[in-house]
Structure 1
């Protein structure tokens, strides 16, 4: 896989049973790139390791006054220099490709899972953790995948050099062959403590990131209540904890680096001391001593890869574990295909609450519990119910008799669109915001008009940077923070209306607008969605009065069905929710209603008997 071929047509189905298995799965999917990187890395390492041989031959040739030997040594140095340069260049290219393609694969998998889960993602995983996984964790995972092939090349190079030194000069080669494995394994006792400190650092950094993300998201509210300094102080404390943890972790890694320098230095001293004695005895030549000395000196370079792979693994394993935890989340049962399928049509039915939204009807749903309304909206989008909502088998919402959570994701999303109570506006122009997959039957102008976005368009036209005052070309900042809450809400509603889905579920779509605007928005939605199935979860009388059918959900089940005015007369609990009456205020009215209903029943019975 080359960078120019990204993104992947299909990033595959990851093994998310553990962080280690996820890393192994990534490595298997890049086997070709790993082998190429290892080959170029081996060429580079052997080029480095071959330099001492050329230097040794050249030095011995000077001692022996041999021009032929000097030419041979010089030629060998040139050859090793070419191998070193070529191997280093190609290794860097292939290794970076491995890093980027591995990171891209993880990012695609995360994007796929985020799109599949939708609003349910942040209900199952903290927003800060999602941010940490999709940024820093992806980098660390890519680093390990890239470092693995270079480490393998370093190990092979060490084996080749040690075997070569034993063959070239057994007396000194044996010392090196025994000492190098000891050097490579010397840092193992320090790794558990270094890994533990690195884990603490990442945990604290994750909490700080989550705090920062939540603070930025709620900045407008914090300013409204004067809470900026309080949260700023909390973030300072969290940031200082991260700094202290990073320093403690860096000290341990510095100790490991020092060991990696100290021990090879001691081995070098031992080789020189022992080799000098052998040279005085005439057992080894000066050129052989120089060769072994130079080889031991350059062996410090491949030994560095042991420290790097230990650090990369200790940092990437928790990152892979977090990524695997996010990727393990499912909207549907594992193994569901993503193939296109014919989208079902018909009535929308929720067996948990008994809610029925007839096809082509504007249905309003009133819930006394806002949390229940949010879970119901999520379930109507095809997400299975949790334990708090009932048995899993009964939780499957059905559209035209077909269970939504058994459909491929593409078919479910093309059938039902859910807009939650806190929709997100991405940065870009208004034209880009409304450029979403749609049927083409509803224009952007019609959607904006139905959502009553006249004042929003005027504000965007005034802020237009192009000078022509075209609001469609005005950029909207990230999450629409340059707009008021009501303006953001209406633009999100317009975006949902443009799609013209067969079924549209809106959770409190007018909670941030004034009553006059709300009445016009309700009328506009009713007019534009005529003949389409629309479900609105709300408790506003202005919106409920526009609905063709109102369903009252009490204690998790449907308690009454009718139109708004009828339910106000006949259902005290509904009236209490919609009019915000207290129990004391509602009790006399309920008693009066009960007596009136009983009187009406008796009168009807007398008329029938007559």
Structure 2
């Protein structure tokens, strides 16, 4: 695989049982590139290591006044230089290719897993960790994969040179043969401690990255509640922990580097001292002494790759562990499904809670537990992240349909929808039935002011549809992002649309208009809205109240306000003290009811009007203005 051929047609199925297993799987799948790198590495290191023999041969030829041997030594030296140049050039090319292709394979695997899991991924793994794995970690994994072949070439070269020295000059070759393994293995006792310190550093850096990512994502909210400095202080503390851990790790690696400089120096001293004694005794020639000395000095170059492979492994192991953790996540259901692909129609039903959303009706669901509501909304879309009983659409279990068919039949918009960067036209370019146009969807979602803001903020965009939206829509307010996300969902026009708190960041006046717009646009289609807003509830055809994971009451908004105290407590935010202060309004078997106005809207005990009353007053003022 060459860089220009990326991406991979199929990145494969990784062995994600552990970090080391994942690295081994990745190495095996890069075998072709590894062999190329190994071949060029052997040529490079062998050419470099052969130079001392050429120099020794040339010196001895000068001493012996042999022109033919001097010419031969010069010719061999030229060949070694050519081999060195070619080997180094193509080794670098092959190593970079292995690095980039390995990192690209991991990124493809992560992207495929992210697409498969969808929103379930961030429910099981922190968003910051996913970012850390897909950015910094893939580079470290790629580094180790490409370093393996260079290390192997260096190790083979050292073995070959040691054997050649023993054959060339046994008296000095034996010293080198004994000394080089000591050099290579001397740092092994320090590697576990260095690896542990590197692991600590990587873990702290990963947590700091997660904190930074989560802080940036929620910066607007933090500023709104005055918590910006608190989270910035937390990040400063986390970054200082990373710095201290990095310093401790660097101390250990600097010690390892110092040992790998000191020990080769001692070996050189030993070789020279012993060689001089042998030369004085006439047992070796000057050329042989120079050859052995130069070989030992040159071998310090491939020996450095022992330190590099240790560092690469220590840094890549925690990265591979995190990547394997993400890649090992699986859906609780078979995305291929056990049924043929179809788009069922009919009532949407959840056996676990007893929730029934009749076909073609606007159903609102009220639940006092937001987390439970989110899990139920996900379950209604089929193939949820948690195991459980499948929701049914027209009597067909959604979990048994292929994932694509389930998503086409039921679209779930969660409470924190994501807006991708690009133009508004690109944002709204989603798979759809074609029955709902962008203009109708934007109108129903009350996006008029959003279009105006986008047009004014985009230079050179005459049409608001060509205005650019920043990453995650950060240039927009929370309410504007919600309305654009709602318009995107309405365009798809699915058989059943599930909306989880779609107007939580919208003002009451706009919320009422959205309720009317969605009701009109979705007429004859199944719509389920999870909300506790009276403005949405008052316009629903049917309201289902959930308590303790079961359907507790079904009816109209104003009916449930009078008959179901638990529903009233959730919708009106009635406190226990307020409930206890109204003993005369206690229905049979229920809690006291909050006083109601003549038209059925909740009224405060001091005569103050509810949000619904305020909305009606605003509409009257607007009509008479």
* TM-score, length of structure 2 as denominator length: 0.89
Pick aligned residue for 2:544 from 551, 571, 574? 551
Residue 278 of structure 1 aligns with which residue?
278
Cα distance in structure 2, aligned partners of 1:377 and 1:477:
28
Contact residue 340 and residue 410 of structure 1 kept, 8 A: no
Equivalent in the alignment of 2:114: 114
Q: Distance in 2 between matches of 1:272 and 1:340?
A: 79
CA contact (8 A) 2:339 2:401 kept: no
The alpha carbon displacement at 1:407 in A equals 4.0
Question: Structure 1 residues 57, 100: closer, same or farther in 2, change over 3 A?
Answer: same
Partner of 1:23: 23
1:1-400 to 2 correspondence within 5 Å?
Answer: 1-333=1-333, 337=336, 342-346=341-345, 347-384=347-384, 386=386, 392=387, 394-400=388-394
Return the alpha-carbon distance in structure 2 between the equivalents of residues 510 and 439 of structure 1. 24
- In structure 2, relative to structure 1, the CA distance for the partners of 1:404 and 1:82 (3 Å cut) is farther
Query: What's the counterpart of residue 416 of structure 1?
Result: 410
- State the distance in 2 between where 1:488 and 1:75 align: 73
Measured in 2, the distance between the counterparts of 1:464 and 1:544 equals 37
Q: SS state of the match for residue 551, structure 2?
A: strand
Tell me how far apart the structure 1 counterparts of residues 291 and 270 of structure 2 sit (CA, whole Å): 15
Query: What's the CA shift string for 1:117-142, capped at 9, x where partnerless?
Result: 22322222222222211111111111
Instruction: Report how far residue 475 of structure 1 moved.
Output: 1.9
CA deviation after TM superposition for structure 1 residue 529, in Å: 2.3
Structure 1 residue 308: Cα displacement: 0.6
My pick for the range that moved more, 309-318 or 581-590, is 581-590
The residue number in structure 2 matching 1:601 is none
* Pair 1:502–1:97, CA change in 2 (3 A): farther
SS of structure 2 residue aligned to 1:305: helix
> C-alpha separation between the residues in 1 aligned to 2:525 and 2:470?
32
Deviation of 1:19 (Å) = 0.8
Q: 1:221 to 1:550 in 2, by over 3 A?
A: same
Query: What whole-Å deviation, never above 9, does each CA across 1:313-342 have from its counterpart, x for those lacking one?
Result: 111111111111112222235x75499961
Conserved in 2, the CA contact under 8 Å of 1:155 and 1:302?
A: yes
Q: Secondary structure at the match of 1:299?
A: helix
Partner of 1:457: 451
- Provide, for residues 72-91 of structure 1, a one-character-per-residue CA deviation record: whole Å limited to 9, x for no partner: 11111111111111111111
- The answer to whether 1:521 aligns with 2:520 is no
The Cα of 1:306 is off from its aligned counterpart by 0.6
Give the corresponding residue for 1:500.
493
Offset of residue 70 of structure 1:
1.5
Distance 1:538 1:250 in 2: 54
Superposed CA RMSD: 2.3
Specify the SS of the correspondent of 2:498: strand
What does residue 427 of structure 2 align with?
A: 433
2:585 is aligned, of 576, 579, 589, to: 589
Separation in 2, partners of 1:148, 1:586: 76
Cα shift at 1:215: 1.9
Deviation at 1:450, TM superposition (A): 1.4
1:531-610 matches, cutoff 5 A = 531-582=524-575, 583-584=579-580, 588-591=584-587
Equivalent of 1:484 in 477, 480, 493: 477
Distance 1:111 1:248, change over 3 A: same
Q: Is 1:471 aligned with 2:464?
A: yes
User: Secondary structure, in 3 states, of the residue corresponding to 2:435?
Assistant: coil
Is the deviation greater in 570-579 or in 415-424? 570-579
Partner of 1:444: 438
Given that 1:98 and 1:145 are in contact with CA atoms closer than 8 Å, whether structure 2 keeps it comes out as yes
Distance 2:570 2:329 in 1: 35
Deviation of 1:456 (Å): 0.4
Distance in 2 (CA, whole Å) between partners of 1:385 and 1:429 is: 31
Contact 2:338–2:401, Cα closer than 8 Å, also in 1: no
Question: Is residue 99–residue 145 contact of structure 1 (8 Å, CA) maintained in 2?
Answer: yes
SS at match of 2:118: helix
Structure 2 CA distance for aligned equivalents of residues 464 and 358 of structure 1: 43
Could you say what secondary structure the match of 1:349 adopts?
strand
Q: CA deviation at 1:518?
A: 0.9
Distance 1:399-1:89 versus aligned 2 partners, 3 A rule: farther
Q: Deviations over 1:466-494 (max 9, x none)?
A: 1x532222222222121111101101111
What are the superposed Cα offsets for residues 394-426 of structure 1, whole Å, 9 maximum, x if unpaired? 432233444334444333333332211111222
Distance verdict in 2 for CA 1:38–1:501, change over 3 Å: farther
Compute the displacement of 1:367 (Å): 0.8
Label 1:306 to 1:395 Cα distance change in 2 as closer, same or farther (>3 A): same
Q: Is 1:510 aligned with 2:510?
A: no
Task: State the SS of the aligned residue for 2:54.
Answer: helix
Q: Under a length normalisation based on structure 1, what TM-score does the superposition of the two structures give?
A: 0.91
Number of residue pairs matched by the alignment: 587
Structure-2 change in CA distance of 1:412 and 1:41 (3 Å): farther
Encode CA deviations 1:279-310: one digit per residue, 9 max, x unaligned.
Answer: 22222222222111111111111111110111
The superposition leaves residues 504-555 of structure 1 with CA deviations (integer Å, 9 ceiling, x where unpaired) of: 2210001111112111111222222233332211111221233233221111
Q: Which residue of 2 aligns with 1:599?
A: none
* Distance (whole Å) between structure 1 residues aligned to residue 337 and residue 302 of structure 2: 46
Out of 320-329 and 205-214, give the one that drifted further: 205-214
Give me the whole-angstrom Cα distance separating, in 2, the residues matched to 1:402 and 1:269.
82
8 Å CA contact retained: 2:120, 2:384: no
Instruction: Look up the SS of the partner of 1:356 in the other structure.
Output: strand
Alignment partners' CA distance in 1, 2:583 and 2:158: 87
Which shifted more, 277-286 or 405-414?
405-414
Deviates further, 439-448 or 194-203: 439-448
How far did 1:29 drift? 1.2
CA distance in structure 2 between the partners assigned to 1:274 and 1:438 by the alignment: 83
The separation in 2 between residues aligned to 1:286 and 1:164, in whole angstroms, is 18
> Contact 1:431 / 1:473 at 8 angstroms: preserved in 2?
yes
Is the CA contact 1:116–1:409 (under 8 Å) kept in the aligned structure 2? no
Per-residue deviation, residues 328-372 of structure 1 (Å, max 9, x unmatched): 222235x75499961441333222112222333332211121121
Q: In 2, distance between residues paired with 1:277 and 1:440?
A: 93
Name the SS for the 2:364 alignment partner: strand
